[in-house]
Amino acid sequence: MRRLTAALGLLIVVTSTFAAGRAPDPRCWTVDTADGAVGQCDAEGTFHTLGVTAFEPTMGAAPDGSLYYATTPRGGVAVGFGAGISASRDGGQTWEDVTPEIAGQYIPPETNDPYAYVDPFTGRAFAFHMGPILTCSILSWTDDGGQTWDFNPVGCAPTGVWDHQTMVAAPPTDGTTTLGYPNVLVSCVNAIYAAECGRSLDGGRTWQHTVPVHLNTDVATEGCGAQHGHLASDTSGFIYLPTSQCGKNPAVYISRNSGLTWEPSIINEMDMPFEDPAVQVDAEGTIYASWHDNLGQLWFATSRDVGATWSGALRITPPQVVSLLPTMVVGDPGHIAIFFAGTDDRAFLVDDGSEDFEVEAEEVAWGAYVTYATNANAGAPMFTTIDTTGDDPIMRGDVCPIEGRCTYQIDFIGSTITPDGQIFGSLIDGCLQECVEDEERGNDVAGTGWAIVATVPGLDLCAETCPKFPVAS
């Protein structure tokens, strides 16, 4: 397996705040999971750039429809990047920097993993940056759209590693009492020996000690960590942490008591690489899970009994499409969307032993893809896959091994849904100008790339207001 570690060197910043793109030659496919039939469609996606750099992009939406996006718009003070967060009030078309400051100093002054999360119940937006290096996280939050911020160091790793953070809000379960904030917050990190999760009962001001969720028994033999996907929660207050279990098979750890204890559920026995599955839960309690196999094909399964049993796995993308770093959103029951970094140049990525394979692989075009369904809770749902960036790729070349880091995106991407059912995916674009026009040119952005949001105009995954949001936007 070829591996490529992304260089995180030169930071590039411009002053423009808005640019839009549309796929002039859209690629759109349907997959009927009843028989695996693949068809063509003509739906189109769009994307907008924030005009600022980032990596490992995450984003969230508030009940008023505003969006928040974790960025790295400046250099760090030591070995990382300047932590930032941007907000949009117009559906991702324009953005403003709302990074917290104290006495002219951005807080935190540096990050090695940027992360943004918004509690969809309350609208509280969190900037959850890892730093310094792999030892701590600094949490900031705002209740007024970024005008004012509160701060709290979440904590430092007892094992010396504190990486790959994720956060979710959930209603408190029976016996759990919150103080001054209605929801329980749970955050999890990859501490190598285990996935460690802690909780806050007062909106982020204080945090209880972390507990090991997924013990990594393979760290010595396999050399991998306890990496996991983005946390999810349901209306009952149950919390879900997906993982590949060190590259074995898709699984999810479930807490029924607001993050105190966790139990495993194996989604499928299928082999998968050391990458993150994606999990979400709808208002009726159906769990949706998606992951990619060792060939980069995207699979899907559901559970209707809190992970006790799972449906059989369904392949939901066309055979020629490679799907990496999936992230999921859910709207009304059965309405889901999965964003991922993808390409339909599978033939160039599967080594056939030809002399020119490596040359061809360098010409692979990667885009911001989305796969969605409006009947995902049916026995044989229909899925639609769109390359939202079309002839304007976000990367070129052999930059995303099936198992390993992906240039610019690094470990993960993000997605969110607004109260009116509009979906947004956060990815990074490193292919600009000559790289777009000439397929033999490599990526022309050094270091971190440009933050973008991808969407599908006219696609509405909620009939009225999405279930997690208390009021319409």
Same domain, 231 and 278: no
Residue 66 belongs to some domain of the structure: no
pLDDT tens string 218-227: 776 666 776 7
Residues in the chain: 473
For the stretch 120-146, pLDDT in tens is 999 999 998 877 676 677 889 999 999
CB 330 within 8 A of CB 281: yes
CA pair distance 383, 239, nearest whole angstrom: 26
255 with 364, same domain: the answer is no
Q: From CA 332, how far away is CA 232, in angstroms rounded?
A: 16
Our count of domains for the chain comes to: 2
User: What is the distance between the alpha carbons of residues 272 and 323, in angstroms, rounded to a whole number?
Assistant: 12
Residues 443/428, Cβ–Cβ less than 8 Å = no
Strands, DSSP E only, in 219-363? Answer: 232-233, 239-243, 251-255, 263-266, 278-281, 287-292, 298-303, 314-315, 322-330, 336-343
Task: With respect to residue 230, please indicate whether it lies within any of the assigned structural domains.
Answer: yes
In a domain, 465, yes or no: yes
Average confidence score pLDDT of the chain? 85
Last residue of one domain, picked from the residues 266, 287, 315: 266
Is 73 part of a structural domain of the chain? no
> Token digits for 181?
């904030």
273 and 229 belong to one structural domain: no
Name the phi and psi angles at 273, rounded to 5.
-75, 180
Closest to 71 in 3D by CA, of 53, 89, 94, 46: 53
In the prediction, which pLDDT does 12 show? 27
Residues 6+ apart with CB under 8 A from 464: 472
Q: Same domain for 412 and 449?
A: yes
Q: In this predicted model, what pLDDT tens digit does every residue of 394-445 receive, in sequence order? A: 999 889 888 778 899 998 999 999 999 999 999 999 999 889 988 878 888 8
Query: Residue 382: which domain range?
Result: 25-44+269-473
Same domain, 172 and 253: yes
Q: What residue ranges in 183-286 does DSSP mark as E strands?
A: 184-190, 194-200, 211-215, 232-233, 239-243, 251-255, 263-266, 278-281
Domain membership of residue 107 (yes or no) is no
Model confidence band, residue 24 (pLDDT cutoffs 50, 70, 90): very low
Coil, strand or helix at 331: coil
Proportion of the chain above pLDDT 70, given as a percent:
86
Q: What is the pLDDT of residue 11?
A: 28
d(CA 349, CA 33): 25
pLDDT tens figures, 328-377: 999 999 999 999 999 998 777 666 666 666 667 778 899 999 999 999 99
Domain boundary residue, one of 204, 232, 266:
266
pLDDT of 316 reads 97
Please give, one letter per residue, the 3-state secondary structure of 230-251.
Answer: CCEECCCCCEEEEECCCCCCCE
* Residues 298 and 309 placed together within one structural domain of the fold: yes
Element (H, E) at 149: none
Q: Identify the domain boundary among 224, 241, 266.
A: 266
In a domain, 3, yes or no: no
Are 329 and 455 in a shared domain? yes
Does residue 296 sit within a domain? yes
Please indicate, yes or no, whether residues 34 and 162 belong to a single structural domain of this protein.
Answer: no
Which residues have CB under 8 Å from 327's CB, separation 6+?
229, 230, 278, 338, 339, 340, 412, 413, 414, 415, 425
The pTM score is 0.90
| pLDDT of 402 | 83
Q: Provide the pLDDT for residue 164.
A: 77
Please count the other Cβ atoms lying within 10 Å of the Cβ belonging to residue 449: 26
Residues 312 and 437 both lie in one domain: yes
Do 434 and 344 fall within a single domain? yes
Q: Does residue 114 sit within a domain?
A: no
Residues 441, 308, single domain; the answer is yes
48 has a pLDDT exceeding 90: yes
Give yes or no: residues 256 and 348 share one domain.
no
pLDDT at 351: 67
